Amino acid sequence: MIAPSVLPADFSRLGDAVEALAQAGVDLIQWDVMDGQFVPNLTFGPDVIASTRDRTDLPFEAHLMVWTPDAMARHYVEAGCSRLIVHAEATTHLHRTLGNIAELGASAAVALNPATPPSAIAHVLDLVDLVLVMTVNPGFGGQRYIATMEPKIREVQAMLEAAGRADEVHIEVDGGIAADTVAGAAAAGANVLVAGSALFRHPDGLGAAVSELRSLATAARA
Ligand code: DX5
């Protein structure tokens, strides 16, 4: 699945960007929510996301790169996000945080920064429908893919298989995903691909970029 990051879009025309992404054939839209504390950048509040909700029927997921996911969760669900991705590093009580997200009626998901081992999520795999393995240090688009995350993606895949959750839980990757890096991530087990620059900067436009990424990933997983 292709989950574009809206980060590289023209922020004065976010609704148009959402519509264009939907027309380009993406599977869902990822909103990179940054609070300026957990990561050194500041992006979308819930009202910004809510203002684009009626521009497509595609699912929205909020990647909460924030220190206070518990306080923010409800607002992003009410803004129209059906999945919330919280960072394992950003909450003291991850198990409770994920359970609270499910209580709000959204799908709960967990993200791991590059230095965080998969063991950090070993005891919450029953609470999530997606694990996000960051392939850059979060905060900005356009960074270089960290290929040393591929063994970590394999490790998460193995943990899901051992827990009998491999069919229910997606593995998502985010950061530096492009034509020259997607095969490694997909072959390692990623089935949801977040891309920003690779889509918005593709010379042949969003549609061509989405199809190219999807076919490269599919071939790598065959
Ligand atoms: C993390 C952000 C970026 C963004 C995608 O800071 O989450 O990874 O979504 O960035 P690209 O695809 O431009 O590397």
**How far lies 71's CA from each of 79, 91, 100, 118, in Å?**
14, 11, 11, 25
67 lines ligand 1 (CB under 6 A): no
Please name the residue that has the structure tokens 């809206």: 6
Q: Which residue from 210, 195, 201, 177 is spatially nearest to 23, judged by alpha carbons?
A: 210
Instruction: Calculate how far, in angstroms, residue 126's C-alpha sits from the geometric centre of ligand 1.
Output: 27
Query: How many other β-carbons are positioned within 10 Å of the β-carbon of residue 85?
Result: 28
User: What type of residue sits at position 137?
Assistant: N
- SS3 state of residue 34: strand
164: left (phi over 0), alpha (psi -120 to 50) or beta: left
Per-residue pLDDT for the chain (222 aa), expressed as one digit of tens each?
Answer: 999 999 999 999 999 999 999 999 999 999 999 999 999 999 999 999 999 999 999 999 999 999 999 999 999 999 999 999 999 999 999 999 999 999 999 999 999 999 999 999 999 999 999 999 999 999 999 999 999 999 999 999 999 999 999 999 999 999 999 999 999 999 999 999 999 999 999 999 999 999 999 999 999 999
SS3 state of residue 171:
strand
pTM higher than 0.95, yes or no? yes
Write down all domains in the chain, each with its CATH number in brackets.
2-221 (3.20.20.70)
DSSP single-letter state for residue 35: B
Model pLDDT, residue 1: 97
Cα 94 to ligand 1 centroid, rounded to whole Å:
23
What are the φ and ψ backbone dihedral angles of 198, each rounded to 5 degrees?
-60, -30
Q: What is the pLDDT of residue 38?
A: 98
174 in active site:
yes
For residue 142, the ligand 1 atom closest to its alpha carbon is 13
